[in-house]
Amino acid sequence: MERTPPPRTAAALVIGNEILSGKVEEANLVALARALRGAGVLLRRVVMVLDEVDTIAEEVKALSASHDWLFTSGGVGPTHDDVTIEAVAKAFGVGVVSSPPMEAMLRAHYGDACTAGHLRMALMPEGAALETTTDVTWPTIRLRNTWLLPGIPEVFRMKLPVVLSHLGGDGRAFVSFAVYLQLDEGEIKPLLDRVVADYPDVSVGSYPKWHATDYRTKITFDGREEARALAARDAFAASLPPGEPRRVD
């Protein structure tokens, strides 16, 4: 059997008092997770912290060293609570400098109304790359394996194509199949244990639905080898008692 190499790994660092206070509901992770999954990259860890330079710097240092890619979300504007640039620079032991091309773009954008506050958005860690695509021309900041993405959900999503165009790799996406059951988790545990043992290379998940309508339990079969995930799903479905599963996809 041909072996799929292990997936590249990623971590995300969500920055912002507004998230941890519940004033704003976090909305970027699910978009990042789905984009990475489509690119065959395994998101292994997410950390959310307050707007504190040293806390952020420590996390960036640890997460960027232990994963192939790190994505930060939030804290990249011009105000006092935007400390991600400073923290990432600190994590990598570099200074913060103003980027001349970024400064020129800001001056062109704001024209006569351009303030010192606006120009703070040209600050970046020394050595950072300004990443763009032909469709997304406003730059995204990347320092080595760490991408600095904005917290505003609409802008975060606009940046994802830039990220994806740079990830490269074997492009083998994660796939997911599922069966839907009327049986509950307690009833199917022995059958689940069997498929988990028989298909160690397939990630099997079991998710009860609280307000049961059309089904009570969803069982998922995930992996980067489509044939194996499908085989695990079909073997599990065939092991069920009559009348199950209610649905397959």
Residue 81 Cβ, how far from a second copy at the closest point, in Å? 6
Using the contact rule CB under 8 A, the part of the chain among 65-73, 89-97, 123-131, 186-194 near a second copy is 186-194
Per-residue binding letters, 18-37, with a second copy (x by CB under 8 A) = xxxxxxxxx--xxxxxx-xx
Per-residue binding letters, 122-151, with a second copy (x by CB under 8 A) = ------------------------------
Nearer to a second copy, 114 or 167 (CB): 114
Q: Which of 196, 230, 231, 240 binds a second copy (CB under 8 A)?
A: 196
Q: Which of 5, 54, 81, 132 binds a second copy (CB under 8 A)?
A: 81
Residue 112 lies near a second copy (rule: CB under 8 A): no
Number of residues counted as binding a second copy (CB under 8 A): 69
Task: Report the distance separating Cα 8 and Cα 188, nearest Å.
Answer: 33
Residue 53 lies near a second copy (rule: CB under 8 A): no
Residue 10 Cβ, how far from a second copy at the closest point, in Å? 10
The residues that touch a second copy, with contacts defined as CB under 8 A, are 14, 17-26, 29-34, 36-37, 43-50, 77-82, 110, 113-121, 152-155, 174, 176, 184-190, 192-193, 196, 203-208, 210-211, 220, 222
